[in-house]
């Protein structure tokens, strides 16, 4: 078979595969166990559909040039085809992972943790005025060239204690869709390239990682810092570069929580953050020294959490960050649970009202866990149940207000 015919055959086969990926993005699976809203499905598969179409256009142009009068050299044709095929393989992997993840969560093998992750991201999307994302089970959090409307819930971290970390992946999306944050981020990247002498791609990846952490702490509160520092960050790796990365992430999330705290009363510091900082310092001091050797090129990167908090809270997303009022609600619930534990009583769920959010439950539960380690097991069930109740309430349509005069509000019922 002539090489030209072989290349034409491969172009036709790849076109067929790309059409299949594009069609999969357009047709919805019949999901019943854990349904996905049509809008969320469309947002999740948007990149698969659009990028499949782009590669199809490239293949059509390549075929035209091979058949045309300009006489594209066969070797150049194979080189262009190889580039298109490589990009297509990435699209196929993403499509398969997304379809498999949706089927997996539809079987409810994840304990419905993805359903709760969806609800948490809907809260954050409402805060920042953007479209939400959907969560799928995954071995690891995939880092793609561009943020997707997909959050990867890492296996085996399918529990409520790591649920706050979903905010990081939604944060990667939110910071790129905000014009003011994007400008701020580009300034940080340009300064780092100039000061550190490092290539732009490496700096961009690190800056966006840290700003996504900042978003997690800004929108979710100290629960994000607890989950990240106590359950996720790698303390075992002993290379100087890995230690520097961990230190940068800790400084960012702790700085964001401190910035949200009351400057006089230090309620969050006294309630949870001071204990977290002490535990972290003890853990770091117990580690062996890092291995000898050169550090990484980004070890010297510094971003002031105070300036990030100011950018988020004053210029990009005012009135939506985690604040003292949110903490007081979490502390109220947590204090009630601690009293019940002291009396050896089973913890009781508070009554949920319309303004309650998943982040309130997560922070209340971490508040208790930092004081009573047995809450890790005892509190997981009630935390999950409360999150589920709030998530279900968010999905129910709200009653429309009538044109009548607003009646005098009744006093709020007791929460316990």
> Could you please report the per-residue DSSP string of 57-68?
HHHHHHHHHHHS
Decide which of 262 and 320 is more confident.
Answer: 320
Q: Which of 215-224, 230-239, 255-264 tops mean pLDDT? A: 215-224
Decide which of 294 and 301 is more confident.
Answer: 301
**Pick from 392, 380, 381: which is nearest to 356 by CA?**
392
Question: Are 316 and 183 contacting, i.e. CB atoms less than 8 angstroms apart?
Answer: no
Which residues are CB-neighbours of 95 under 8 A, at least 6 positions away?
Answer: 21, 24, 25, 45, 48
Is the pLDDT confidence value at 398 over 80? no
Dig out the tokens for 309 from the structure. Answer: 């908090």
Is the pLDDT confidence value at 409 over 50? no
Lowest mean pLDDT among 151-160, 254-263, 335-344: 151-160
Q: Is 130 helix (H, G, I), strand (E, B) or coil?
A: coil
DSSP states of 186-237 as a string?
HHHHHHHHHHH---HHHHHHHHHHHHHHHHHHHHHTHHHHHHIIIIIS--S-
Handedness of CA 303, 304, 305, 308 (dihedral sign): negative
Q: H helices then E strands: how many in the chain?
A: 15, 2
Q: What is the pLDDT of residues 186-196, one digit of tens each?
A: 999 999 999 99
Which residues are CB-neighbours of 18 under 8 A, at least 6 positions away?
Answer: 52, 55, 56, 59, 88, 91
**Per-residue model confidence (pLDDT) at position 388:** 94
Average confidence (pLDDT) over 200-224? 96
Is the pLDDT confidence value at 142 over 60? no
Rg value, the chain, Cα: 25
Specify the DSSP element, H or E, that contains 152.
strand 150-154
Average confidence (pLDDT) over 75-82? 92
Average confidence (pLDDT) over 313-329? 92
Compute how many other C-beta atoms are within 10 angstroms of the C-beta atom of residue 329.
Answer: 20
**Pick from 323, 134, 308: which is nearest to 208 by CA?**
308
Is the pLDDT confidence value at 406 over 50? no
**Per-residue model confidence (pLDDT) at position 70:** 66
Lowest mean pLDDT among 29-43, 101-115, 381-395: 29-43
Which residue bears the tokens 């550190």? Answer: 196
Q: What is the pLDDT of residues 252-287, one digit of tens each?
A: 999 999 999 976 688 898 899 899 999 999 999 998
End-to-end CA separation in angstroms for the chain: 79
Q: How confident is the model at residue 416 (pLDDT cuts 50, 70, 90)?
A: low
Lowest mean pLDDT among 31-40, 213-222, 303-312, 329-338: 31-40
**Per-residue model confidence (pLDDT) at position 145:** 47
DSSP states of 37-94 as a string?
-HHHHHHHHHHHHHHHHHHHHHHHHHHHHHHSTT---HHHHHHHHHHHHHHHHHHHHH
Is the pLDDT confidence value at 144 over 60? no
Distance CA 76, CA 73 (A): 5
Query: Could you tell me what percent of the chain has a pLDDT over 70?
Result: 91
- pTM for this structure? 0.85
Is the pLDDT confidence value at 79 over 60? yes
Is the pLDDT confidence value at 140 over 90? no
Average confidence (pLDDT) over 28-45? 75
Domain boundaries, the chain: 1-105, 167-316, 324-394
Is the pLDDT confidence value at 230 over 60? yes
């Amino acid at each position: 078979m002539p090489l030209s015919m072989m290349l034409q055959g491969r172009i036709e086969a790849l076109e067929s595969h790309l059409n299949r990926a594009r069609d999969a993005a357009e047709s919805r699976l019949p999901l019943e166990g854990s349904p996905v809203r049509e809008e969320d499905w469309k947002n999740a598969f948007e990149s698969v559909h659009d990028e499949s179409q782009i590669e199809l256009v490239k293949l059509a142009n390549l075929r035209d040039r091979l058949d045309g009068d300009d006489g594209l050299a066969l070797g150049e044709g194979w080189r262009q085809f190889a580039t298109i095929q490589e990009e297509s393989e990435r699209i196929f992997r993403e499509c398969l992972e997304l379809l498999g993840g949706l089927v997996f969560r539809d079987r409810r093998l994840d304990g419905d943790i993805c359903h709760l992750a969806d609800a948490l991201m809907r809260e954050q999307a409402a805060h920042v005025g953007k479209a939400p994302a959907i969560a799928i089970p995954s071995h690891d959090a995939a880092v793609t060239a561009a943020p997707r409307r997909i959050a990867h819930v890492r296996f085996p971290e399918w529990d409520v204690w790591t649920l706050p970390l979903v905010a990081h992946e939604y944060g990667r999306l939110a910071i790129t869709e905000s014009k003011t944050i994007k400008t701020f981020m580009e300034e940080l990247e340009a300064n780092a390239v100039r000061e550190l002498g490092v290539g732009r791609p490496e700096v961009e990846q690190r800056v966006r990682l840290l700003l996504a952490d900042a978003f997690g702490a800004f929108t979710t509160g100290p629960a994000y810092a607890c989950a990240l520092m106590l359950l996720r960050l790698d303390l075992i790796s002993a290379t100087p570069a890995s230690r520097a990365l961990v230190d940068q992430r800790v400084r960012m999330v702790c700085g964001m929580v401190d910035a949200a705290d009351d400057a006089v009363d230090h309620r969050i510091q006294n309630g949870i953050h001071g204990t977290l900082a002490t535990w972290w310092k003890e853990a770091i001091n117990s580690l062996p020294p890092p291995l000898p050797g050169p550090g990484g090129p980004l070890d010297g990167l510094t971003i002031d959490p105070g300036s990030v908090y100011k950018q988020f809270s004053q210029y990009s997303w005012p009135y939506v960050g985690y604040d003292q009022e949110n903490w007081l609600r979490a502390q109220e619930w947590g204090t009630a649970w601690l009293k019940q534990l002291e009396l050896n009583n089973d913890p009781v769920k508070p009554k949920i009202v319309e303004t309650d959010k998943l982040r309130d439950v997560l922070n209340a539960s971490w508040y208790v866990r930092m004081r009573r380690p047995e809450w890790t097991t005892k509190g997981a069930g009630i935390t999950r149940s409360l999150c589920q109740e709030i998530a279900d309430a968010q999905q129910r349509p709200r009653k429309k207000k009538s044109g009548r005069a607003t009646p005098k509000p009744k006093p709020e019922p007791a929460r316990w």
